[in-house]
Structure 1
Amino acid sequence: MSLYERTRAVLPSWLALYYDEPIELDHGSGRYVWAADGTRYLDFFGGILTTMTEHALPAVTEAVAAQAAKIIHSSTLYLNRPMVELCEEIAAVSGIPDAKVFLTTSGTEANDAALLLASARNGSNQVLALRNSYHGRSFSTIGITGNSAWSPTSLSPFQTYYVHGGQRYRSPFAGLSDAEFVAACVADLEEVLDQTGGSIAALIAEPIQGVGGFTSGPDGLLGAFAEVVRARDILWISDEVQTGWGRTGEHFWGWQAHGAVPDIVTFAKGVGNGLSMGGVIAPASIMDNLPANSISTFGGSPITSAGALANLRHLRAHDLQGNAAKIGPLLLDGLRALDSPVVGDVRGKGLMIGVELVEPGSGIPGAPAPALATAVLQGCKDRGLLVGKGGLHGNVLRIAPPLSLTAEEAEEGLTILTDAIGAAS
């Protein structure tokens, strides 16, 4: 049996695989990965925005090897030096006053923990979320995800109210100016709040929606939301699982573009550079508010903490946020210069770029083109480039290379993308 056949025989059918002939990634170096058959690919997706610095970063592999030779696991029932050192560094760069950090094994678990903190603090299971959002695959985070493609059940421990503002291209407010768009979304939020009744625990929002297709409202929108919800004692949770650690180039955190500081921040993916790492940041007044004991068996394990700490220090020492700000526009400008009837929108910041593909000649302006996106995804792979796909309709190319991407590699990837879009259309 092939590895594909063995995969389908033993793993759930709902685990998606890319490509007509899925590939087995064998090893990586820098911004490149190699399949088991020896084919080399330029990686513009990083294992879903997870390989943040580079593949096989020596600082990370050396830190993991050194820690593995000492002790791999202990749990939070024992003092854990790598975990404390990592949390100290995260707290220092968090922008959260009097910050405390709780480490988890994924972004899903981080959002779970943030929802627990907010619901315990406010005594409510009501949550505000943005339309088109994605916050994880657990029972609770599915219940606050505003994207039907990733919501397999309507059952939930939360009562969720969805508001406008997560995306602009397909919004009923799409033609408005930034200020008008913000005003319209705030009015929508206030109307929803007036109709809910009772207390609400939190508003959770991605500064740039990841699975949703790298969409967002204008800068300042979440700050305007924060002003409204805080007047009603509702917490603001910023889901930075995909936007954190300098990926947008302009800021270290996505929330910093919005003129206000969130009450809780969640993170994951990039900080571990492939290691299973996530977490929550909150002021002590919120973090210490749970009325029961808790532990984590695997969150903040010595080996993942050691690797994540080495990765975070490398990111900061080499100013990879600055590199994202410098290299990102090469891709954005090149993609926006494409004269193609199938490219409906090119958006993003830094090295987080979405290309929305539409059906030309369908008679419906901006009609989503999911089959075309799949064809471009395949075409990029055939030409040696790995990209992602997302959006509510599955018609958005997601481009998110490691933050160490060079100008030459950006040009290489742009050429492949241009060719693949042209061929598919």
Structure 2
Amino acid sequence: MTNDLLGRHRAVLPDWLALYYEEPLEITHGEGRHVWDAHGNRYLDFFGGILTTMTAHALPEVTKAVSEQAGRIIHSSTLYLNRPMVELAERVAQLSGIPDARVFFTTSGTEANDTALLLATTYRRSNTILAMRNSYHGRSFSSVGITGNRGWSPTSLSPLQTLYVHGGMRTRGPYAHLGDDDFTAACVDDLVDLLGHTRPPAALIAEPIQGVGGFTSPPDGLYAAFREVLHERGVLWIADEVQTGWGRTGEHFWGWQAHGRNGPPDIMTFAKGIGNGMSIGGVVARSEIMNCLDSNSISTFGGTQITMAAGLANLNYLLEHDLQGNARRVGGMLIERLRAAAAQVPAVREVRGRGLMIGIEITKPGTDEADPQAAAAVLEAAREGGLLIGKGGGHNTSALRVAPPLSLNVAEAEEGAAIFENALRSIQ
């Protein structure tokens, strides 16, 4: 059955549409933190559809909200007043920390970042964008143009002039040998030097923790230090919270808050987890930035009643059950468990992350050289053991990504860590 579906997939879908595993998996249903494949095998899900299933599979509160809304109306476009969209926008604006915030809903993180770039370049009258090396911001023409990860950037053509800044990867690059304070100072000096050689940019866009890049991050406070330099020149800060938002990091509700001593970003993008699998993305910005466009616009599918109903139910569940606190507690235990397991495996260069957003970097033992074959072998072994994880990293890194639903409990964390430990040992 699966082989037949794989053949049909290859016959009609693009060659560049990535599939995990030597024998790709068809997931047929899920419940809680588990999913089942077409052969009836059960897996503990530590990747959540690329961090989209944020609370749990088949969460009754979300399922009920979607079903009830579908019985009324599914979609009408933004040409009409939409109560669920207004209600979710009010909640997101308040939670964002951005003063006098306006919210625009999209269908994905890619589209959200597109919108943020449109706003920033229009507001600043500049098509120059600062982005981070090893970054990923989406698959559209403009978001590919600012992506600093070669493996996910299929073209160098772009409507934007993109300049890449040091700092997103703490343990690699020319400043990796420095302590945190000196690392930050060196990156700031590099930014100042870069700005001296170019026309004023529109914005810096940065993931507080790089997602596709392998869950890498700078020292806390780096982007706050960057913002001091940028603010003096009127350059905007766009925080890409597509993967870090909604409490996943445990310590903060938003990733930018680890860099927030100078206040919130000018623009923030979000997506993935808020819909718990439904297609929701969005942009939050100060009103004068959001309202800078001087022509009409709509969103046909952004903010549909059914996705907004799901987002409201999911957000309510997240807050009422303190899933941020759970990510901090269970995630802290899980990362320590993974570090203990990795300490016995020479191929593991680093276990990093915070909350339920953990990266395990795989290299050839005794070197800093990436080993994508070993990483792929761990991915396969974990699946064989009943655990689904993700992978990532730039052209010179190989990382495995662990990002379970935020309702993960201690027993499931222990079970997943044990499977992962066995998978790591299999490559020795």
Structure 1 length as normaliser, TM-score?
A: 0.98
Does residue 83 of structure 1 match 2:85? yes
Q: Give the secondary-structure state (helix, strand or coil) at the position aligned to 2:233.
A: coil
Task: Work out the CA distance in 2 between the residues paired with 1:184 and 1:217.
Answer: 12
Does residue 276 of structure 1 match 2:285? no
The corresponding residue for 2:17 is 15
Q: Deviations over 1:187-231 (max 9, x none)?
A: 1111111111x2211000000000000001000000001111111
> What CA RMSD, in Å, does the superposition of the two structures yield over aligned residues?
0.8
The corresponding residue for 1:212 is 213
Q: Give the secondary-structure state (helix, strand or coil) at the position aligned to 2:298.
A: coil
Task: Work out the CA distance in 1 between the residues paired with 2:236 and 2:169.
Answer: 22
Q: Deviations over 1:227-283 (max 9, x none)?
A: 111111100000000000000000000000112310000000000000000000011
Q: Deviations over 1:88-141 (max 9, x none)?
A: 111111111011100000000000000000000011100000000000000000
Task: Work out the CA distance in 2 between the residues paired with 1:246 and 1:40.
Answer: 27
Q: AA paired with 2:359?
A: G
Task: Work out the CA distance in 1 between the residues paired with 2:66 and 2:243.
Answer: 23
Aligned counterparts, 1:371-390, within 5 A: 371-390=373-392
Q: Give the secondary-structure state (helix, strand or coil) at the position aligned to 2:234.
A: coil
Q: AA paired with 1:353?
A: I
Aligned counterparts, 1:185-204, within 5 A: 185-196=187-198, 198-204=199-205
Give the share of equivalent positions with the same residue, in percent: 65
Aligned counterparts, 1:65-80, within 5 A: 65-80=67-82
Task: Work out the CA distance in 2 between the residues paired with 1:227 and 1:2.
Answer: 56
Task: Work out the CA distance in 1 between the residues paired with 2:109 and 2:176.
Answer: 30
Q: Deviations over 1:159-203 (max 9, x none)?
A: 00001011012121112111001001001111111111x221100
Match of 2:359 among 343, 354, 362: 354
The corresponding residue for 1:46 is 48
Structure 2 length as normaliser, TM-score?
A: 0.97
Task: Work out the CA distance in 2 between the residues paired with 1:294 and 1:199.
Answer: 27
Q: AA paired with 1:275?
A: M
Match of 2:349 among 339, 344, 350: 344
Task: Work out the CA distance in 2 between the residues paired with 1:291 and 1:186.
Answer: 35
The corresponding residue for 1:303 is 306
Task: Work out the CA distance in 1 between the residues paired with 2:127 and 2:64.
Answer: 44
Task: Work out the CA distance in 1 between the residues paired with 2:112 and 2:424.
Answer: 36
CA-CA distance at 1:340 after TM superposition: 1.3
Q: AA paired with 1:399?
A: V
CA-CA distance at 1:424 after TM superposition: 1.5
The corresponding residue for 1:103 is 105
Which stretch of the first structure deviates more once superposed, 281-290 or 134-143?
281-290
Task: Work out the CA distance in 1 between the residues paired with 2:346 and 2:143.
Answer: 37
Q: AA paired with 1:99?
A: A
The corresponding residue for 2:236 is 235
Task: Work out the CA distance in 2 between the residues paired with 1:170 and 1:341.
Answer: 18
Q: AA paired with 1:345?
A: E
Task: Work out the CA distance in 2 between the residues paired with 1:31 and 1:240.
Answer: 23
Aligned counterparts, 1:110-189, within 5 A: 110-189=112-191
Task: Work out the CA distance in 2 between the residues paired with 1:91 and 1:122.
Answer: 23
The corresponding residue for 1:329 is 332
Match of 2:297 among 286, 294, 297: 294
The corresponding residue for 2:7 is 5
Task: Work out the CA distance in 2 between the residues paired with 1:396 and 1:92.
Answer: 35
Task: Work out the CA distance in 2 between the residues paired with 1:187 and 1:370.
Answer: 33
Task: Work out the CA distance in 1 between the residues paired with 2:177 and 2:421.
Answer: 28
Q: Give the secondary-structure state (helix, strand or coil) at the position aligned to 1:137.
A: coil
Task: Work out the CA distance in 2 between the residues paired with 1:35 and 1:283.
Answer: 44
Task: Work out the CA distance in 2 between the residues paired with 1:127 and 1:107.
Answer: 18
CA-CA distance at 1:331 after TM superposition: 1.4
The corresponding residue for 2:403 is 400
Task: Work out the CA distance in 2 between the residues paired with 1:245 and 1:10.
Answer: 36
Task: Work out the CA distance in 1 between the residues paired with 2:86 and 2:172.
Answer: 44
Q: AA paired with 1:205?
A: A
Q: AA paired with 1:281?
A: V
Which stretch of the first structure deviates more once superposed, 204-213 or 90-99?
90-99
Q: Give the secondary-structure state (helix, strand or coil) at the position aligned to 2:218.
A: coil
Aligned counterparts, 1:53-68, within 5 A: 53-68=55-70
The corresponding residue for 1:257 is 258
Task: Work out the CA distance in 2 between the residues paired with 1:267 and 1:227.
Answer: 24
Q: Give the secondary-structure state (helix, strand or coil) at the position aligned to 2:197.
A: helix
Q: Deviations over 1:332-359 (max 9, x none)?
A: 1112113210110010010000000110
Q: Which runs of 5+ in 1 are unaligned?
A: none
CA-CA distance at 1:34 after TM superposition: 0.4
Q: AA paired with 2:252?
A: H
The corresponding residue for 1:221 is 222
Does residue 412 of structure 1 match 2:419? no
Q: AA paired with 1:152?
A: P
Q: Give the secondary-structure state (helix, strand or coil) at the position aligned to 1:42.
A: strand
Aligned residues: 421
